[in-house]
């Protein structure tokens, strides 16, 4: 998922520059929820893509936080 998230983020940036067909934001966010949030956030900041969109600059860290809390909860449940 990590590599896929990076690839579609870079592809969307390239398409935006060329004014070609873009990847829907819904699909980008779905990819983030499925595990690509951290690499997508890092990639977006590195290439300057969607950095003015609160949906991504606030949403991706929120998704990462939810993932981390979920992992902590699973670890806690496992050891209780």
Q: Which residues contact 33 (CB under 8 A, 6 or more apart)?
A: 63
Q: State yes or no: pLDDT of 48 exceeds 80.
A: yes
pTM to 2 decimals? Answer: 0.88
Is 7:39 a contact under the CB 8 Å cutoff?
A: no
Chain centre distance of CA 20: 21
Calculate the average pLDDT of the chain.
95
Q: State yes or no: pLDDT of 80 exceeds 90.
A: no
How far apart are alpha carbons 48 and 46 in whole angstroms?
6
Give the closest residue to 31 by CA, choosing from 9, 53, 58: 9
- For the record, the structure tokens of 27 come out as 């699909």
What pLDDT shows up at residue 66?
A: 97
Maximum Cα interatomic distance, the chain, rounded to a whole number of Å: 54
């Amino acid at each position: 998922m990590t590599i896929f998230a990076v690839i579609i983020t870079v592809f969307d940036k390239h398409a935006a520059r060329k004014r070609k067909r873009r990847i829907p934001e819904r699909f980008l966010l779905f990819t983030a929820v499925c595990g690509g949030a951290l690499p997508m956030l890092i990639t977006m900041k590195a290439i300057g893509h969607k950095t003015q969109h609160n949906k991504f600059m606030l949403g991706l860290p929120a998704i990462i936080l939810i993932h981390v809390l979920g992992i902590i909860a699973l670890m806690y449940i496992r050891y209780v």
